C-alpha cells in the first residue's frame, strides 16, 4: 500500500499537477520544439508582423517555413529568454528567466532537484511520455539531457559540434560545403526515427531538435550557395553562404513537418519553431554593437530591430516564434507577448496538467493558441526580465506593456523606449518620462534583489 502511494505521488505530485480526466487520458498531444541558433526576427521570406514590411528578409528564401507559417500562429512579440544561447536553453528547460538561472559559473550551483524540466513535467502528468533531444545542448553545466528526463539524446554536446573549421580567426569570412551542413540531415534522421518509434509504441512524446545552424561556421550545400551567389543582394542581407545555410535549414524543417503529416499525427502534435537569440548585428560583428543604428553605414541584419546577438535591444531577444497544432487557427498573427520560459507551463496545460505551476516565471499561453491569438498569459510577474552576463558591458532589461527599460551596470546609464511606437529603439525617452523610469527601474531592481542579489553586489562595490 505504501509503495502504491509513493507511485501515485511521483506521477501526480511533481509541481502540484492535477490528475486529468478520463477523456484527457485518451489522447495526449505530442510536442516538437525546433530551436534554431542565432536566427533573427526578420530572417525569413515571410513577415513576422504583417504590419511591418521590413519584418522579413530582402535576400534569404525560406519556402518551407513560409508554408509552415500559413498553417500556424505567429507571435509578433516572441522573445528568447536571453541574447546568447546557453542561458536561453536553460530557461526553456526550466521555465525560468536567465536572471534566476545565473551565468555559466553560477548555474551549476543554482540548479537543484527542485527545478523540473519539460520532460519531467510531462512524465509527471502521464508516465507514457517519451522525450528526446538532438543537436546543440550547451547548458554549460555538466548536466546531460538524460539527467533532465530525456530518454534519448546526443549527449552533452558543445557549441561547435556543427562546425567544420578549427580556428576562430577567419570564421566570419570563410565558408564550407557539405552534404550534411551543420549536421542537419543526421539530426533530422534521428528525430524522424524517434517519432516513428513512438508512433509504433503508441507513446506521446516531446521532441526537441536544437539545430547548430545558423551559428557560424557557415556550412551549406554547394548548389544552395551557388543559388544565392548569383542573386542580387539586399540592403540588410547579403551573405550567400549564410543564405545557403538558412535555405538548407528550411528544407530540413519542411521535411520534419511533412513527416508529422505522413505519420498521421498532425492532428495531435504541436510544432514550435523559435530561435535561441537574434542574429549577429553584422557579418562580421562590430565592437560598438551598442551604438545607434545611424552610426553604421548600412542596415543592421535584424532591421527594423536594433542590435543583435549579445545585446538586450530588440534585435538580440525578439525572435521568430511560431506554433502549429490542434486548435491553432491557421495563418494567425498574435500580439500577445510570449517568451521561451512560457513553453514549459504551456506544454503542461496542453498535456492535461495544471494551468499554473509554482516557482516559474513562465505562464501558459494555451488559451491564446485556442482563441485566435487573443487572451492574457497569467504569470507570477507581469513584466519580462532579462540580463546579459557580459564582463565588458553587463546590462539588464525589463519590459512592461509598451515600455522597455535597459540598465547598463558599469555606467549606471538608463535608457527607456516605447517599443509599440518605436520598434527600432531609436528615441530614448528616459528624460521625458521620469515617473515611468522610476517605476520600471524599481520593478527590475526588486526582481534582481529577490532572485539574484549577487548581481547588485558586483556593481555596488
pLDDT tens track for 74-124: 999 999 999 999 999 999 999 999 999 988 888 888 888 778 999 999 999
Q: Which residue in 374, 346, 336 sits closest to 270, CA to CA?
A: 346
Look at residue 188 in the predicted model and tell me its pLDDT.
98
pLDDT at 460: 61
pLDDT in tens, 271-310: 999 999 999 999 999 999 999 999 999 999 999 999 999 9
140 — alpha (psi -120 to 50), left (phi > 0) or beta? left
Summarised one tens digit per residue, pLDDT across range 306-364 is: 999 999 999 999 999 999 999 999 999 999 999 999 999 999 999 999 766 778 999 99
CA distance 125 to 56: 39
Q: What is the pLDDT of residue 26?
A: 55
Q: Read off the C-alpha cell for 326.
A: 490542434
Neighbour-count burial of 283, counting CB atoms closer than 10 A to its CB (0-12 exposed, 13-18 middle, 19+ buried):
middle
In tens, the pLDDT along 187-245 reads 999 999 999 999 999 999 999 999 999 999 999 999 999 999 999 999 999 999 999 99
Confidence band of 22 (pLDDT split at 50, 70, 90) = very low
Q: What is the pLDDT of residue 141?
A: 85
pTM: 0.93
Q: Tell me the average pLDDT across 153-161.
A: 88
Q: What is the pLDDT of residue 11?
A: 39
Domains of the chain: residue spans and CATH = 27-381 (3.40.720.10), 390-458 (3.30.1120.10)
Kindly state the helix (H) or strand (E) to which residue 440 belongs, with its residue range.
helix 434-451
* Predicted confidence (pLDDT) per residue in 48-74, tens digit: 999 999 999 999 999 999 999 999 999
Place of cell 537569440: 277
- Is the previous residue joined to 63 through a cis bond, with omega within 30 degrees of 0? no
Check if the beta carbon of residue 89 is closer than 8 Å to that of residue 277. Answer: no
pLDDT at position 373 over 80: yes
Q: CB–CB of 151/380 below 8 Å?
A: no
Contacts within 8 Å (CB) and 24+ apart, 44-53: 44/69, 44/320, 48/74, 48/76, 48/320, 49/74, 49/76, 49/333, 50/333, 52/304, 52/423
Please state, rounded to an integer, the average pLDDT across all residues of the chain: 92
Measured CA to CA, the distance from residue 252 to residue 184 in angstroms comes to: 7
Kindly state the cell numbers that stand for 220: 551549406
* Per-residue pLDDT, 21: 40
pLDDT for residue 248 is more than 60: yes
Distance between first and last Cα of the chain: 57
Instruction: Give whole-number Cα distances, 302 to 140, 236, 282, 298, in Å.
Output: 27, 8, 9, 12
Cis peptide before 214 (omega within 30 of 0): yes
Give the model confidence (pLDDT) of 433-460 as tens digits.
999 999 999 999 999 999 999 998 777 6
pLDDT at 354: 79
Q: What angle do CA 169, 171, 175 make, to 5 degrees?
A: 140
What are the C-alpha distances in Å from 138 to residues 93, 142, 216, 374? 12, 9, 15, 34
**410 secondary structure, DSSP code:** T
Binning pLDDT at 50, 70 and 90, where does residue 161 land?
confident
Q: Is the CB of residue 305 less than 8 Å from the CB of residue 234?
A: no
Cα–Cα distance between 316 and 310 in angstroms, integer? 6
Amino acid at each position: 500500500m505504501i509503495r502504491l502511494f509513493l507511485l501515485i505521488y511521483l506521477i501526480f505530485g511533481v509541481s502540484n499537477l492535477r490528475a486529468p480526466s478520463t477523456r484527457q487520458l485518451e489522447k495526449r498531444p505530442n510536442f516538437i520544439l525546433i530551436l534554431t541558433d542565432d536566427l533573427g526576427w526578420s530572417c525569413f521570406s515571410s513577415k513576422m508582423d504583417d504590419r511591418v514590411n521590413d519584418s522579413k528578409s530582402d535576400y534569404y528564401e525560406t519556402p518551407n517555413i513560409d508554408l509552415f507559417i500559413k498553417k500556424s500562429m505567429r507571435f509578433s512579440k516572441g522573445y528568447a529568454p536571453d541574447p546568447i544561447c546557453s542561458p536561453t536553453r536553460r530557461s526553456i528547460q526550466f521555465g525560468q528567466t536567465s536572471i534566476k538561472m545565473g551565468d555559466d559559473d553560477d548555474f551549476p550551483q543554482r540548479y537543484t532537484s527542485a527545478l523540473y524540466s519539460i520532460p519531467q513535467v510531462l512524465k509527471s502528468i502521464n508516465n507514457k511520455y517519451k522525450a528526446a533531444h538532438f543537436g546543440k545542448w550547451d547548458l554549460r553545466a555538466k548536466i546531460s539531457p538524460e539527467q533532465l528526463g530525456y530518454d534519448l539524446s546526443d549527449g552533452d554536446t558543445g557549441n561547435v559540434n556543427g562546425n567544420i573549421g578549427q580556428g576562430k580567426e577567419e570564421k566570419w569570412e570563410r565558408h564550407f560545403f557539405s552534404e550534411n551542413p551543420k549536421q542537419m540531415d543526421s539530426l533530422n534522421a534521428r528525430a524522424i526515427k524517434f517519432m516513428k518509434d513512438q508512433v509504433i509504441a503508441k507513446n506521446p512524446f516531446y521532441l526537441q531538435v536544437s539545430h547548430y545552424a545558423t551559428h557560424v561556421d557557415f556550412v551549406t550545400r554547394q548548389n544552395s550557395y551557388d543559388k544565392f551567389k548569383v542573386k542580387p543582394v539586399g540592403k540588410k542581407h547579403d551573405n550567400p553562404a549564410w543564405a545557403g545555410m538558412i535555405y538548407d535549414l528550411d528544407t530540413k524543417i519542411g521535411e520534419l513537418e511533412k513527416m508529422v503529416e505522413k505519420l498521421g499525427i498532425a492532428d495531435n502534435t504541436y510544432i514550435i519553431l523559435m530561435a535561441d537569440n537574434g542574429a549577429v548585428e553584422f557579418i562580421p560583428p562590430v565592437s560598438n554593437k551598442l551604438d545607434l543604428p545611424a552610426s553604421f553605414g548600412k542596415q543592421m541584419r535584424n532591421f527594423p530591430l536594433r542590435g543583435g546577438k549579445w545585446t538586450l535591444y530588440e534585435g538580440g531577444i525578439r525572435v521568430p516564434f511560431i506554433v502549429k497544432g490542434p486548435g491553432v487557427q491557421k495563418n494567425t498573427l498574435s500580439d500577445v507577448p510570449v517568451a521561451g520560459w512560457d513553453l514549459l507551463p504551456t506544454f503542461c496545460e496542453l498535456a492535461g496538467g495544471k494551468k499554473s505551476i509554482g516557482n516559474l516565471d513562465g505562464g501558459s499561453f494555451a488559451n491564446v493558441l485556442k482563441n485566435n491569438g487573443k487572451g492574457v498569459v497569467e504569470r507570477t510577474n507581469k513584466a519580462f526580465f532579462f540580463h546579459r552576463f557580459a564582463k565588458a558591458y553587463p546590462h539588464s532589461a525589463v519590459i512592461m506593456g509598451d515600455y522597455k527599460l535597459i540598465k547598463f551596470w558599469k555606467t549606471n546609464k538608463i535608457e527607456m523606449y516605447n517599443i509599440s511606437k518605436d520598434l527600432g529603439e531609436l528615441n530614448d525617452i528616459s528624460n521625458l518620462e521620469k515617473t515611468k523610469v522610476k517605476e520600471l527601474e524599481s520593478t527590475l531592481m526588486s526582481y534582481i534583489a529577490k532572485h539574484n542579489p549577487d548581481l547588485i553586489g558586483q556593481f555596488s562595490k
